[in-house]
Amino acid sequence: MNVKDPATDFSCHPASREERDEIVSVYRESFDDDPVFQWLFPDRETRKPLLEEFFDVMVDHTFAHGGSVLQTMDYGAVSMYFPPDAVEQPREIRDRLLDTLRRELGPQCDKPVHLLTMLEASHPRDLPPHYYGTFVAARPRHQGHGLGTRLKKCLFAMADKDRAGAYAEASSPRNLALYERLGQRRLGAALTLPGGPPIYPIWRPPPTQAA
């Protein structure tokens, strides 16, 4: 029996690895005003080129190590994620990611390396199997039209199909409020960046097992 892909219910589709430049361009356009990325790259003049270099690395890492990218509306919005069997990665893979960031970002690498190290260390180890959504972004001209919501609901549908939870981090109180409306809840204390904004771990448990 053919099982319907839950992504189709929300007009979302897996992104093609061959379209990685298009994916990166969404992040480059979208995160210029994000508080976490303003902290990572405080110089407005160089932020977009650094965003591109950062997401070049992150998109390649996601595809290379079991993750994927959802997209909607012809790459109007994108969302990287890891399925349950790829959430926890060997130490050597994580170290390789950080070394790549150091090489690509040069003197601007310290804050991105700190951020990823903090997120990895803070990711709870006692959660049930879950999807990990890393970065959700919509191009500026598509923001406010519900595409990010559609991507989140798509990820939740995939998690529900696999009887899995959904974990992520919200980078602003606005995003936190949106994710809470969609059914995720804060998980523990906010994470603190030195001299930067708080980041909020959020969690959606697996669906209740059928009797």
Could you tell me if residue 182 is inside a domain? no
The answer to whether position 181 is within a domain reads: no
- Other beta carbons within 10 angstroms of residue 9's beta carbon come to 12
Number of structural domains the chain divides into: 1
What is the per-residue pLDDT across 55-95, written as a single tens digit (0 to 9) for each? Answer: 999 999 999 999 999 998 788 899 999 999 999 999 999 99
| CB contact set of 82 (below 8 Å; sequence gap of 6+) | 62, 65, 66, 67, 131, 132, 134
**Is pLDDT of 2 > 90?**
no
In a domain, 199, yes or no: no
Average pLDDT over residues 18-24: 94
Residue 148 in domain: yes
Q: Per-residue confidence at 164, pLDDT binned at 50, 70, 90?
A: very high
Task: Give the 3-state secondary structure of residue 30.
Answer: helix
pLDDT digits (tens, 9 = 90+) for 102-120: 999 999 999 999 999 999 9
Note whether residue 198 is domain-resident.
Answer: no
132: burial class by Cβ within 10 Å (0-12, 13-18, 19+)? buried
Residue 90 lies in a domain: yes
% of the chain residues with pLDDT over 90 = 78
What's the pLDDT score for residue 210? Answer: 37
Residue 186 lies inside a defined structural domain of this protein: no
More confident residue, 4 or 155: 155
Residue 191 scores a pLDDT above 60 = yes
Residue range(s) defining the domain that contains residue 48: 6-165
5 pLDDT above the threshold of 80: no
Do the domain assignments include residue 66? yes
Could you tell me the CATH number of the domain that includes residue 36?
3.40.630.30
For the chain, how far is it from start to end, CA to CA, in angstroms? 23
Residue 2 or residue 189, greater confidence: 189
DSSP E strand stretches across the chain: 12-14, 68-72, 77-82, 130-138, 165-170, 185-186, 191-192, 198-204
Q: What value does the mean pLDDT of the chain take? A: 91
Return the pLDDT at 3.
47
141, pLDDT greater than 90? no
pLDDT of residue 127: 96
Which pLDDT value is given to residue 73?
75
Q: In the predicted model, what is the mean pLDDT of residues 28-33?
A: 92
